[in-house]
């Protein structure tokens, strides 16, 4: 791999041991929350909080265009040249290098870039969905950035994104886009049965209960990729149902490496198993399809009306 982070074709599924980059992962998660909250406060609300997400690009992650009066702006993480780009529809551009820097320093520099471009944006500075959060402007603790691992994470998302899009195309019912949630720091795609769901209990740290309840207002089968955290320290693909139908946790799913995690209430498939598989694409698609079928069959979904042929 070159100094700029470009990849050899033989390493499209890179190693991503959580222990080796957990400090970078934590810092990048908080940087992403800062940018995500900027999108949140300036974008019209869309059901299930789909207006807050990032999208994969051929270089990193993007907010996509954010409305601002008669202008738009967007913010991109570039994990090839390791920079943050703030671009406006009138042609202005500001950049910041992605290097080891504290969350507080990142917040100050992003705020200054917005001011330079005459973009007034005020965000809530407490991180979302995290226990014991430190306000962005006070966080000097998280300051790691390993460019190689940031690039590996993005390359993993590139693979997951293309497989998730193939899986999504099989469904003709209501489905989310394939998108990246900066709060939970995962790439996800969600299918809907079309029926209302029981009220969600809420309780997500530093996330209003009404947001969680609106997000889970209807029955879903959802899947995604997550890099891990201190409580679950390995990257994994996951699949869950809300509400979880009776028997879901004991359903037989593919491949053999997948299992139901009773604490997470999700099926999980270790990323390492996919990476090492003879056909990673096939293994991952089998996992996505079989876990969806378990949720849909046990939940009594009208699959004939919701699906098309492979």
d(CA 156, CA 274): 11
The answer to whether 239 touches 255, Cβ cutoff 8 Å, is no
Mean pLDDT by 10 residues, the chain (310 residues): 44 96 98 98 97 98 98 98 98 98 98 98 97 97 98 98 98 98 98 98 95 97 96 97 98 98 97 98 98 98 89
Helix (H/G/I), strand (E/B), else coil: 75: strand
- For 65, half-sphere exposure in the C-beta direction (CA atoms, 13 angstrom radius) is 9
Look at residue 111 in the predicted model and tell me its pLDDT.
98
**DSSP state at residue 13:** S
How far is 106 from 113, CA to CA, in rounded Å?
Answer: 11
Supply the pLDDT for residue 11. Answer: 84
39 neighbors 51 (Cβ within 8 angstroms): yes
DSSP H helices in 48-171: 103-116, 147-168
pTM exceeds 0.75 = yes
Are 74 and 149 in contact, with CB atoms under 8 Å apart? no
pLDDT of residue 303: 97
- The answer for residues whose C-beta is within 8 angstroms of residue 132's C-beta and 6 or more apart is none
The candidate with the shortest Cα–Cα distance to 98, out of 56, 150, 55, 141, is 150
Residue 77, beta-bridge partner list: 61, 84
What's the sign of the alpha-carbon dihedral 186, 293, 203, 122?
positive
CA angle 270–273–276, rounded 5-degree value = 145
Report d(CA 199, CA 218) in Å as an integer: 9
CB 182 within 8 A of CB 26: no
Q: Which of 211, 287, 256 is nearest to 295 (CA)?
A: 287
Q: For residues 227 and 61, what is the distance between their CA atoms, to the nearest angstrom? A: 15
| Alpha-carbon dihedral angle through residues 122, 125, 128, 133, given to the nearest 10 degrees | 180
Query: What is the total residue count of the chain?
Result: 310
Any idea of the CA torsion for 183, 177, 216, 32, to the nearest 10 degrees? 10
CA 266 to chain centre: 16
């Amino acid at each position: 791999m070159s100094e700029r982070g470009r990849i050899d074709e033989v390493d499209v599924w890179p190693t991503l041991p959580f222990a080796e980059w957990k400090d970078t992962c934590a810092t990048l998660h908080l940087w992403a929350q800062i940018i995500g909250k900027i999108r949140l406060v300036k974008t019209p609300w869309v059901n299930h909080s789909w207006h807050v997400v990032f999208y994969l690009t051929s270089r990193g992650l993007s907010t996509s265009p954010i409305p601002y009066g008669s202008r738009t702006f967007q913010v991109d993480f570039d994990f090839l040249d390791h920079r943050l780009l703030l671009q406006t529809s009138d042609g202005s551009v500001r950049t910041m290098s992605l290097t080891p820097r504290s969350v507080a320093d990142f917040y100050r520099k992003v705020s200054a870039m917005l001011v330079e471009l005459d973009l007034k944006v005020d965000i809530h500075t407490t991180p979302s969905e995290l226990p014991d959060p430190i306000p962005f402007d006070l966080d000097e603790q998280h300051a790691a950035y390993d460019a190689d691992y940031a690039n590996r994470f993005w390359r993993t998302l590139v693979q997951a994104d293309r497989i998730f899009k193939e899986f999504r195309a099989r469904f003709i019912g209501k489905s989310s886009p394939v998108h990246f949630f900066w709060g939970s720091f995962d790439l996800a795609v969600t299918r809907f049965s079309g029926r209302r769901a029981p009220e969600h209990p809420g309780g997500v740290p530093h996330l209003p209960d009404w947001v969680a309840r609106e997000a889970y207002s209807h029955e879903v089968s959802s899947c995604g990729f997550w890099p891990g955290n201190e409580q679950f320290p390995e990257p994994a693909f996951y699949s869950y149902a809300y509400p979880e139908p009776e028997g879901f946790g004991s359903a037989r799913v593919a491949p053999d490496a997948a299992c139901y995690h009773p604490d997470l209430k999700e099926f999980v498939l270790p990323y390492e198993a996919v990476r090492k598989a003879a056909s990673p694409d096939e293994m991952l698609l089998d996992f996505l399809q079989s876990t969806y079928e378990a949720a849909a069959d046990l939940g009594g979904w009208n699959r004939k009306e919701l699906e098309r042929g492979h």
